[in-house]
Structure 1
Amino acid sequence: MENARDSRVRVMVWAGVVAALTLGFAIVPFLTDNLSFMFYMMLWIIMASAFNFVAGLAGYMPFGYVAFYGVGAYATGILYKTLEFPIPLALIGAGLTGATVGLLLAPTLRLRGVYFGIVSLALAMAAKLTISLMPADLTGGSLGLILSSANDPLAAYYAMFVVLLLLLATATWLSMSRTGTALRAIRDDQEAAAVVGVNVVSTRMKAWISAAVFPALVGGVEAWYTNAIDLESSFNLLITAKSIVYAMAGGLGYLVGPILGSGLLYGVDQLIWRQFPTLNLLLLGVIIVLLMLMLPRGIVGAFAQRFSKLRKYIP
């Protein structure tokens, strides 16, 4: 009975977090015309949380995570600008492209640890090179693609909001279902998980594809929001770095970890940028280093360690 009660409390805590995020982001356009801050807050929550699917739950560290974001942005641009698809279909195409790239890269899941990270980084660079070699009339060449005719910041904001809702639903499923339990078992000991009947290949593939689809969708929606796509910004390794840092700062392996880490560090990043624009990256780097040294398990992980009796209630 105690276990059932603990589970109910954990579900209620997570439901409260989901409700707060849903209500908070839904009403923003009614309160202000400046959507940029909250738009990018959603972007980084999604990027860090999707990264947590594969790193925190499955135990993989994809340093080439930006590849999914980049191909999603370009898929949206090509489908809308070149092939003249409507934006909703272009965004669906971005998600499907992310899933396809994830399937193509799935054989790399045979690798573990730093070897997987290095290979995924190399494949991200290969994806960028592949797009750069495609015909300029398709990808826009060195100038990229301009989507000014699709300009609609409010619609793009709510598109990101829909992606956030899908992310929260997927996070709930991955973490609180038998799939989540199997993923954590694989992360802790893959051989032991296989012995007790866990389908290792199928289970980790679910996390991997989920971690591929969401950054692709985010890349597509962000391209719509800014109306501009180019190779350097779409495949900027800082996107991977921030996703990793935000997720780790909050606490990998917890649903609320990447959400808290993204909200806190993105807010700090913007505050520093406004006050010290020339020292932004330096000061942010110092804060991140101090945070990692003081809280190596992240904010949520440190809380769970300090208050061990409450750990079972943390989603």
Structure 2
Amino acid sequence: MSSSLAASAHASHRLQDQQAQRTRTRIATGIFAVLTLGLAVVPMATSNISFAFYLMLWVTMASAMNICVGFTGYLPFGFVVFYGVGSYATGICYKVLGWPILPSLAAASVVGLLIALLFAPTLRLRGVYFGIVSLALATIMRLLISNLPDGFTGGSMGLILSSANNPTHSYYAMLAVMAATLATVAWLSISRLGKALKAIRDDDAAAACVGIHVPRTRLKAWLLAALFPALAGGIEAWYTNVVDPEYAFHVLITAKSIIYAMAGGFGTIIGPVVGTLALLGIDHLIWQKFPVLNLLLGLVIVLLMLFLPRGIVGSLLKRYPQLRQYIA
């Protein structure tokens, strides 16, 4: 009798958790939809779309980083490699091979996935070891590309995609990639794959004991996390009309992806979006009004990490636990 009551109570509690998770996901999806629709009308309202474009780019990068860190517990210091190879794949296919821009972007996504598969053995490592090895492999990839013939990569001058430049088209391409990234994160929050990833993040040995195929599940998340930065890198090359060899593999791209996601809160659905909106907005305001005091952004980030170590959303949920039924 007591065992049946306990089983019934457990089933009821599990059902409540599932319903609460669905509610949180619906709310997050609604927020994402409003953001996407708001950004969709920006080119109709103004010709100055640069800030909105880079907002979408960094929301994409931070959300992809959240798939790595928030869902799997992996912190890839070499995350920029996907962005870099996406930029170069787009530039080479368009400029050197003469492909149209959309097939060139498709090639960028394929190359990003292939690089993720190449790096897949590093998923056996954990913690700082994984981070360091991923950074080393990203450095090797940058050196390999820089040593290709100049006629292929443009050498130190990079590649100029002169006839590809169409800011409005590339803007909406980035909007589509951002929307796909956010939809993927929302789906992961309620899917079996997402639950399996969180189980692996918390205790991979226990996850294996309950039948989760740990290596295969990690690889799926790794491929998802690689796809969107590769597309973002290719679309930015289209938007700016150039593939810059110094910028394409710059460590700052990884750093910003981590900082924006961390500022909002790793492991939350809307955290990376909130963090990107907050920090990129502050950065924009500081740059506009105080160009010589751009170091203020660094101070804001330090204060944020000191006083809100769980990020904006994570700290809000800790302070007001009742919000957990609505926000994740």
TM-score normalised per structure 2: 0.94
Cα offset, 1:278, TM superposition: 2.6
Cα offset, 1:286, TM superposition: 0.8
Cα distance in 2 for partners of 1:276, 1:234 equals: 27
**Residues 1:301 and 2:328 aligned together:** no
Pairwise mapping of residues 1-315 of structure 1 onto structure 2 (< 5 A)?
A: 2-280=16-294, 282-315=295-328
The RMSD of aligned alpha carbons is 1.1
Deviations along 1:21-72, one digit per CA (max 9) or x if unpaired, are 2211111111111110000000000000000001110000001111110000
Q: Based on CA coordinates, which of the two structures has the bigger radius of gyration?
A: 2
Deviations along 1:71-123, one digit per CA (max 9) or x if unpaired, are 00000000000001100000011011100000000000111000111111111
> Equivalent residue of 1:179, what SS?
helix
Contact persistence 1:174–1:207 (CA under 8 A): no
Contact persistence 2:25–2:189 (CA under 8 A): no
Cα distance in 1 for partners of 2:185, 2:299 equals: 31
> Equivalent residue of 2:98, what SS?
coil
Deviations along 1:102-150, one digit per CA (max 9) or x if unpaired, are 0000000111000111111111111110000101111011111000111
Contact persistence 1:74–1:229 (CA under 8 A): yes
> Equivalent residue of 2:41, what SS?
helix
Stretches of structure 2 that go unaligned for 5 or more consecutive residues are 1-14
One-letter amino acid matched to 2:301: I
Higher mean C-alpha displacement, 246-255 vs 202-211: 202-211
Contact persistence 2:64–2:224 (CA under 8 A): yes
Superposition misfits of 4+ residues, deviation over 6 angstroms: none
One-letter amino acid matched to 1:228: V
Cα distance in 1 for partners of 2:186, 2:25 equals: 9
1:4 to 1:192, Cα distance in 2 relative to 1, 3 A: closer
Higher mean C-alpha displacement, 305-314 vs 57-66: 305-314
TM-score normalised per structure 1: 0.97
Cα distance in 2 for partners of 1:105, 1:2 equals: 39
- Kindly tell me the number of residue pairs found equivalent between the two proteins: 314
Cα distance in 1 for partners of 2:137, 2:82 equals: 11
